[in-house]
């Protein structure tokens, strides 16, 4: 199943960013530290091309510290880019964002040339929580749901520092299949865009390979690594009492439990991708996308050829 979610307000956000970026000095892209590349919007990369960028791996307290270090090194090796890990609820680290922005754009500052920063990211990545931490007040709406912010906001963090907040935005077509599942597992995709059981199976397939001990401890299981994904989901449901008539496991409820426990971090600190893994997924996604395009072009060409072979009726009035 391909997971796609691009509500109408996201199209408006795309247009707003394209217009706003002309007068922006630094771009802050908030990423989910548990899925840094999957939560990096390729459309934003195109829209903000050439602008100094601060990649912020948010929710690092939920992510695997070793994987976070790998991702920070990966992004810090890129030109015109800085990266830092962050827990948006922590006041002191959040203030480091302002310092990093002035490092990326040292010629800005003061009333004549105030710093203008655009903060963007996918839905439910924690932008509103971060902004409220920076301003020490509820300047932005927050919620554990994709798509809470709907309009652009300008927030003054200082007399010479303007922050422009934009609604969370995904992209119209996700070509990396694994990214779609990771985004759904994290809560970045609206619930009507995916099947919880399918997402839970994909999530457990990764976790049982990379974090079997954490799964075993959370759900009191043994032999996690040797279980099939389906058996693991069923066992989790049975352990947590997700039963229906005849003591049969309610797989939908079991899937919701697995996804919720991952999102909340109660299983443990986990990351769903490494730089090397994502590079492989992206290469495969690009290959499959190119193949799909070839087939699509062939079908369109065949349609045009068949259309031309059909004689058009002569609709001219007879004389």
Domain-by-domain residue ranges, the chain? 8-165, 195-287
Quick one: average pLDDT of 176-180?
Answer: 93
Quick one: average pLDDT of 154-159?
Answer: 84
Coil vs helix vs strand at 57: strand
Residue 236 scores a pLDDT above 90:
yes
Quick one: average pLDDT of 202-230?
Answer: 96
Task: For residues 314 and 319, give the distance between their C-alpha atoms in angstroms, rounded to a whole number.
Answer: 13
> Does the domain spanning 8-165 belong to CATH 3.40.50.300?
yes
Q: What is the pLDDT of residue 318?
A: 63
Instruction: Place 1 in a pLDDT band, splitting at 50, 70 and 90.
Output: low
Quick one: average pLDDT of 229-237?
Answer: 97
| Buried/exposed 36-45: b ≥16 CB within 10 Å, e otherwise | bbbbbbebbe
Instruction: Place 142 in a pLDDT band, splitting at 50, 70 and 90.
Output: very low
Quick one: average pLDDT of 102-131?
Answer: 90
Q: Which residue has the tokens 């119209």?
A: 172
Are 130 and 29 in contact by the 8 Å Cβ rule? The answer is no
Q: Which of 65, 75, 3 is nearest to 34 (CA)?
A: 65
Instruction: Place 310 in a pLDDT band, splitting at 50, 70 and 90.
Output: low
Strand partners, 154: 164
Q: What is the pLDDT of residue 168?
A: 80
> Is the Cα torsion angle 169, 175, 178, 180 positive or negative in sign?
positive
Query: 9 vs 64, which has greater pLDDT?
Result: 64
Instruction: Place 87 in a pLDDT band, splitting at 50, 70 and 90.
Output: confident
Residue 190 scores a pLDDT above 90:
no
Mean pLDDT of the chain: 86
Q: What is the pLDDT of residue 182?
A: 96
Task: For residues 17 and 167, give the distance between their C-alpha atoms in angstroms, rounded to a whole number.
Answer: 10
Cβ-based burial of 50 (10 A; exposed 0-12, middle 13-18, buried ≥19): exposed
Longest dimension (CA), the chain: 89
Please tell me the CATH code under which domain 195-287 is placed. 1.10.1580.10
Give per-residue pLDDT as tens, 239-287.
Answer: 999 999 888 999 999 999 999 999 999 999 999 999 999 999 999 999 9
State pTM to two decimals: 0.84
């Amino acid at each position: 199943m391909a997971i796609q979610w691009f509500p109408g307000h996201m199209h408006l956000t795309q247009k707003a960013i394209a217009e706003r970026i002309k007068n922006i000095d630094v771009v802050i892209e908030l990423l989910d530290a548990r899925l840094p590349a999957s939560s990096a919007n390729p459309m934003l990369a195109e829209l903000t091309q050439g602008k100094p960028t601060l990649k912020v791996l948010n929710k690092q307290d939920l992510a695997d510290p070793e994987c976070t270090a790998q991702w920070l090194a990966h992004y810090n090796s890129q030109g015109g880019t800085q990266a830092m890990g962050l827990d948006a609820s922590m006041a002191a680290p959040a203030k480091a964002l302002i310092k990093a922005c002035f490092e990326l754009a040292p010629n800005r500052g003061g009333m004549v040339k105030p710093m203008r920063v655009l903060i963007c990211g996918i839905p439910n990545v924690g932008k509103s929580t971060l902004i409220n931490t920076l301003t020490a007040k509820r300047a932005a709406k927050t919620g554990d749901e994709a798509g809470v912010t709907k309009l652009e906001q300008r927030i003054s963090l200082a007399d010479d520092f303007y922050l422009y907040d934009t609604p969370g935005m995904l992209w119209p077509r996700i070509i990396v299949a694994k990214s779609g599942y990771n985004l759904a597992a994290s809560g970045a995709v609206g619930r009507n865009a995916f099947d919880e059981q399918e997402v839970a199976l994909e999530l457990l397939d990764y976790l049982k390979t990379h974090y079997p001990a954490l799964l075993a401890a959370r759900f009191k299981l043994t032999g996690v690594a040797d279980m099939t994904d389906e058996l693991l989901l069923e066992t989790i449901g049975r352990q947590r009492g997700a039963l229906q008539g005849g003591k049969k496991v309610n797989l939908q409820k079991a899937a919701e439990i697995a996804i919720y426990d991952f999102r909340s971090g109660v299983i443990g600190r986990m990351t769903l991708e490494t730089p090397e893994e994502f590079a492989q997924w992206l290469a495969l996604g690009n290959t499959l996308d190119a193949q799909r395009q070839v087939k699509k072009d062939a079908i369109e060409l065949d349609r045009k050829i068949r259309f031309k072979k059909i004689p058009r009726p002569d609709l001219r009035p007879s004389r």
